[in-house]
């Protein structure tokens, strides 16, 4: 019994240390850690990184698990590690991994690059848009859609976002049901950062409902069909 209690105590201590080793920081607190930091990790994909990143950040893709483990093994576990992704999900997982691997100070940017850019913080932008990335068309399409329709539901999404993928078939169904009454427009947050910034979208999915060209409601996170019908059909 004593051995069992000792084992439980040790496990609890290890879990406690892991929790203490990683900390979620808001944009301002994260920014305050940047001066002098030598281990800033952007754990997004290379294509995301090429569109803009935090100063001095190195790109180590969390999705490439074997490569990620190999590269972070070269880092100094006794020095702070600052981690971020697009909206905080992947970097949260990466931060947890780093803490379990013995890194003593791990800071995760809550809300990720999306909240960072919405807050007008400094980023390193590419001199030229990567050749494989289509030029943003969201603003022009949005402006025309708002002009042509009385009620518009705009879905800010990302192709890698799990909840966004769940939301899509519901929106496609409602788009058909609302033909002639409500226009449904999807805007890729990765490809149209200017539109994201214009409407201060700092989490995805975010759905903004417009009437007569003006935003009247904002829904953050996944919404089921019943919720969307209630919000949208209530203003028709």
CB-CB contact of 224 with 168 (8 Å): no
Q: How far apart are CA 227 and CA 221, in angstroms?
A: 12
| 85 labelled catalytic | no
Catalytic residue among 21, 109, 161, 228: 161
Catalytic residue among 82, 95, 164, 183: 164
In 3D, which of 148, 118, 138, 233 has the Cα closest to residue 185? 138
CB-CB contact of 204 with 155 (8 Å): no
CA 51, 53, 58, 61 torsion-angle sign:
negative
Estimate to the nearest angstrom the gap between the alpha carbon of 233 and the chain centroid.
29
**Catalytic residue annotation:** 161, 164
């Amino acid at each position: 019994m004593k051995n069992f209690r000792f084992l439980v105590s040790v496990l609890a201590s290890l879990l406690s240390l892991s929790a203490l080793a990683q900390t979620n920081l808001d944009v301002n607190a994260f920014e305050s850690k940047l001066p002098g930091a030598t281990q800033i990790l952007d754990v997004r994909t290379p294509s995301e990184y090429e569109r803009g990143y935090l100063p001095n950040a190195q790109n180590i893709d969390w999705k490439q698990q074997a490569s990620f483990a190999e590269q972070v093994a070269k880092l100094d576990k006794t020095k702070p590690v600052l981690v971020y992704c697009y909206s905080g999900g992947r970097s949260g997982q990466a931060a947890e991994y780093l803490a379990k691997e013995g890194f003593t100070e791990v800071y995760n940017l809550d809300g990720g690059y999306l909240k960072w850019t919405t807050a007008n913080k400094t980023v390193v932008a590419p001199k030229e848009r990567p050749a494989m990335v289509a030029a943003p068309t969201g603003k022009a399409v949005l402006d025309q859609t708002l002009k042509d329709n009385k009620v518009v539901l705009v879905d800010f999404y990302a192709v890698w976002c799990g909840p966004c993928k769940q939301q899509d078939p519901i929106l496609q169904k409602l788009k058909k049901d609302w033909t002639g009454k409500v226009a449904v427009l999807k805007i890729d947050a990765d490809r149209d950062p200017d539109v994201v910034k214009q409407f201060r979208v700092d989490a995805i999915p975010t759905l903004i409902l417009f009437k007569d060209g003006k935003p009247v409601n904002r829904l953050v996170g996944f919404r089921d069909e019943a919720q969307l019908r209630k919000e949208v059909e209530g203003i028709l």
